[in-house]
Amino acid sequence: MPRIPEARVLIVATDGFEDWELFGPRQILQERGAEVVLATLKLDPIQGTVHDDPGRTIRPDLTIDDVRADDFAALVLPGGVRNPDQLRMHGNVIQLIQAFARAGKPIGAICHAPWLLVEADLLRGRTATSWPSIRTDVRNAGATIVDEPAVTDGNIVTSRNPDDVEAFTNALIDLIEDQPDVTEIDVETEATA
C-alpha cells in the first residue's frame, strides 16, 4: 500500500453527513499529504449537520457512478443519521463498498456509517463499534461489538462518534500504510466462512 503522501482516498457521503466526520478525516489526511476525493450521488453541493443543526456544505468532486475502487487506496464513510441511511438505499454505493472490500483496501466507517457495512454484508465475524443506537443492527449483522474509539478488524476500521475522529483517522492511516498488497477476495465466500 502507498504511504499517505502517495495515497488517493475516497470519501463517500450525501446530505446529512455529520460535519466533523467528513471534514475531520479529510483535513487530517490532506495535512499528511493524501489526495482526498469526495463522491456523492449527484454533483450538487451536499449539506452536513452538527448533530441535528445545519453544518457546512461541500461540493463533491465526482458522482458515485464515476468512481472505480481501483483508483483509490482507501474509502472513508462518514456518519450522521441521514447520510448512511440514504446511501444504503443505492445499490451502486453498496457495490462500490463491496469492490473496496474485495480488493482488500482499507474501509473506514464512523458513527452511523457502519449501517453501510451492514448493508454490504461486511461485518459478519468481525469486531466493530458504532454509534450506540445502531449497535443492535451491527450485532445482528454478525459483528462483535466493543466500545472503543477506533476498532480495526482486517481491512475495516469502525468508530463511534465525532469525538473519535483523530483516533479513527490515525487507525485508517495505519491500515493504508501498513497493509500489504492483497489479491482480490470473494466477499460472499468470506461472509459465509
Q: Does the structural domain 4-192 have CATH classification 1.25.40.10?
A: no
DSSP-derived pairing of the beta strands 17-18 and 46-50: parallel
Give the position of cell 482488500: 104
Q: Using the predicted structure, report yes or no on whether residue 185 has a pLDDT greater than 70.
A: no
Q: Are 15 and 86 in contact (CB under 8 A)?
A: yes
**Percent share of the chain, pLDDT over 70:** 92
Q: Give me the active site residues, please.
A: 112
Spatial separation of the C-alpha atoms in residues 65 and 82, rounded to whole Å: 20
Spatial separation of the C-alpha atoms in residues 49 and 103, rounded to whole Å: 32
17: number of Cβ within 10 Å: 34
C-alpha cell at 171: 487507525
Report the pLDDT value the prediction gives residue 4, as an integer from 0 to 100.
Answer: 86
Please state whether the predicted TM-score (pTM) of the whole model is above 0.85. Answer: yes
Closest to 168 measured CA to CA, from 132, 119, 114 = 114
**Residue spans per domain, the chain:** 4-192
- Tell me what the pLDDT averaged over the chain comes to: 93
- Residue 63 CB burial class (10 angstroms; 0-12, 13-18, ≥19): middle
Per DSSP, 125 falls in state: T
Per-residue pLDDT tens for 90-99? 999 999 999 9
Spatial separation of the C-alpha atoms in residues 60 and 193, rounded to whole Å: 37
| For residues 55-78, average pLDDT | 97
